[in-house]
């Protein structure tokens, strides 16, 4: 959100796949850091209703609404400054269209697909930044810098309980198949946790 997305207070943010754990953390961080509006996209209106308590200002039910139309309406046709994307391919084109001039797209997962086509005209005309994020290729020094930045920016909020991830459901380790089946249903909000007795 901050290190890669360069979020500043007052900028607009869109978060795809909003009911997952990483996305829910991003919603809360964006809200606490003064993003306006915080826009969240999900395939479920019921999930979007529940996400308002975490800082969502505008919800997009992608099962029945156009992401681009809702973003443009919420930003006076400007587009968003920052997108945090956990979905990948299926929303990539809409993400490009939803970005403002000089917008940033931070991709942190590819839950929908790892491939997409890009309209280079959009990239060029809007002067967009496309940013991929992973810890897998970071050096130990880069990881430490990231951890220190998170501690600096987020520990006070975590300590005060302003950032928290709900646990949707727990399963014992020997019910891992049942936990996976529940995850595939895509009805959860937050984390599904395996427990060890």
Q: 105 to each of 13, 68, 167, 170, 194, how far by Cα in Å? A: 10, 15, 28, 33, 32
Rounded CA-CA distance 38/35 in Å is: 6
Q: Are 20 and 158 in contact (CB under 8 A)?
A: no
Where exactly does CATH 3.40.50.720 map onto the chain? 13-132
Q: What is residue 84's three-state secondary structure?
A: strand
Rounded CA-CA distance 56/79 in Å is: 17
pTM: 0.88
Per-residue pLDDT in tens (0 to 9) along the chain, 197 residues: 888 889 999 999 999 988 888 889 999 999 999 999 999 999 888 889 989 989 999 999 999 999 999 999 999 999 999 999 988 888 899 999 999 999 999 998 777 677 888 888 888 999 999 999 888 888 999 999 989 998 998 899 988 988 988 898 999 999 999 999 999 888 888 889 999 98
Query: For the structural domain made of 13-132, what CATH number should be given?
Result: 3.40.50.720
């Amino acid at each position: 959100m901050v290190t890669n997305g360069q979020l500043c207070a007052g900028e607009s943010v869109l978060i795809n796949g909003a009911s997952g754990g990483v996305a829910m953390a991003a919603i809360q961080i964006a809200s606490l850091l003064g993003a306006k509006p915080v826009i969240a996209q999900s395939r479920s209106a019921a999930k979007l209703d529940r996400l308002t308590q975490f800082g969502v200002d505008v919800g997009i039910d992608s099962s029945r609404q156009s992401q681009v139309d809702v973003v443009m309406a919420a930003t006076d046709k400007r587009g968003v400054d920052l997108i945090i994307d956990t979905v990948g391919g299926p929303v990539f084109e809409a993400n490009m269209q939803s970005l403002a001039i000089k917008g940033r797209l931070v991709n942190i997962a590819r839950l929908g697909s790892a491939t997409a086509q890009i309209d280079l005209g959009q990239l060029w005309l809007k002067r967009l930044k496309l940013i991929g994020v992973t810890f897998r290729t970071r050096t130990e020094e880069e990881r430490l810098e990231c951890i220190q930045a998170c501690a600096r920016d987020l520990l006070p909020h975590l300590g005060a309980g302003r950032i928290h991830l709900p646990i949707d459901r727990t399963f014992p380790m020997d019910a891992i198949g049942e936990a996976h089946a529940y995850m595939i249903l895509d009805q959860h909000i937050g984390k599904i946790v395996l427990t060890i007795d």
